[in-house]
Amino acid sequence: MQGYGLEVSPYFQPVLGKDAYNVRYTDCIDNETIVQKASQNPLLDGAVVPKIDFVWQPGKTLKQCMNDNESFDFVIASHVMEHVPNTLGWLNEILEALKVGGRVALFLPNRKFDNDFHRKDTDFAQLLQWWIEQPIVPTVGQVLDFMSNSLSITAEDIVDWTKPEDVARLKPHYSRSDIISTGVALYNDSPYIDAHCTVWTPESFRSVFREVESAGLIGAKVIDVVDDTVEFLVVLEKTGDPALTPPAKKSSGVGHSTGSVNLEGIEHRLGVMHHDLSFLIDRVHEAAGSTYRQEGLMQAAAQAQEQHRRRGWFARLFQ
């Protein structure tokens, strides 16, 4: 993470502090909205929420929201990509703001160790579909898949995901009536509902993005995937522009509205969502004897460095 960088959606817990890194912060909402969101989160009582430098406005590309002639050496996003409805479109906007040879670091939850345990891994066909359709909010299918398969967990729960009996005691988070009501509301009115739009394991990410790279859908290559059990780190390197671009959007809109559907009383959030998942990760590491999440990541990095010492790239990345 050398040079001039950007962290996407740091919320209350940036991975890179401005005291040690030449980094800017961006989010899709402004500082006032971020503070309001944080005030409603009991886990953040008394926490200082860092200010973002600019808003990545919905409907505009990242490049359009930056300063003229600005470009970055690196971009980092922690537990953000899984919430994005158009994964490849989002990545390509980030890569557009990156210098050739620059790197993108993505922290992603491993679905084998969180509430997405029962969901199927995202595949190439799904990424291609969303790249073509270019959804700007989570789709009906993405939200219903998330709600239908989400398990109910809290920051107090410590689950051994390798034990079937531990997983079996977890209950579904959403009722069938809430799932149906939400699906109808999405179809009629297309509100924004936060969800894990994609689900990954380190193995599935490697496999799917090999197809993405060979198809020319992004102008980047996967440098490596570093597994740290409950989450993993992906490092991409920009190689140039993508060989393919998505088709022009259809001019006709979605006009299915048959009247407003009241969403009040339907609990759509998992309770610990988005970057709040970091608290769960911290607790898992504490239970395993690791005081800090960063300590566990550095241990994983050291292991990977040993495995890849002949290539030398990892030492340069984490020096």
d(CA 5, CA 209): 24
CA distances from 188 to 2, 136, 148, 253, 257 (A): 46, 16, 19, 12, 4
Q: How far apart are CA 94 and CA 103, in angstroms?
A: 10
Rounded to the nearest angstrom, the gap between the alpha carbon of residue 160 and the centroid of all alpha carbons in its chain is 23
pLDDT value at position 153? Answer: 86
DSSP run (H or E) holding 38: helix 31-39
Q: What is the pLDDT along the chain (319 residues), one digit of tens a residue?
A: 789 999 999 988 899 999 999 999 999 999 999 988 888 887 777 778 899 999 999 889 999 999 888 999 999 999 999 999 999 999 999 999 999 999 999 999 999 999 999 999 999 999 999 999 999 999 999 999 999 999 998 767 788 999 999 999 999 999 999 999 999 999 998 888 899 999 999 999 999 999 999 999 999 999 999 999 999 999 999 999 999 999 997 764 444 444 444 444 444 444 334 444 454 455 555 555 554 455 545 554 455 455 444 444 434 444 4
C-alpha distances in Å from residue 300, one per residue of 295, 303, 306? 9, 5, 10
pLDDT given for residue 156 in this prediction: 76
State residue 276's pLDDT score: 47
pLDDT computed for residue 154 by the predictor: 78
pTM, rounded to two decimals: 0.81
Amino acid of residue 297: L
Burial of 92 (0-12, 13-18, 19+ CB in 10 A): buried
Among 184, 194, 192, which Cα is nearest to 259's?
184
Q: Is 28 exposed, middle or buried (0-12, 13-18, 19+ CB in 10 A)?
A: middle
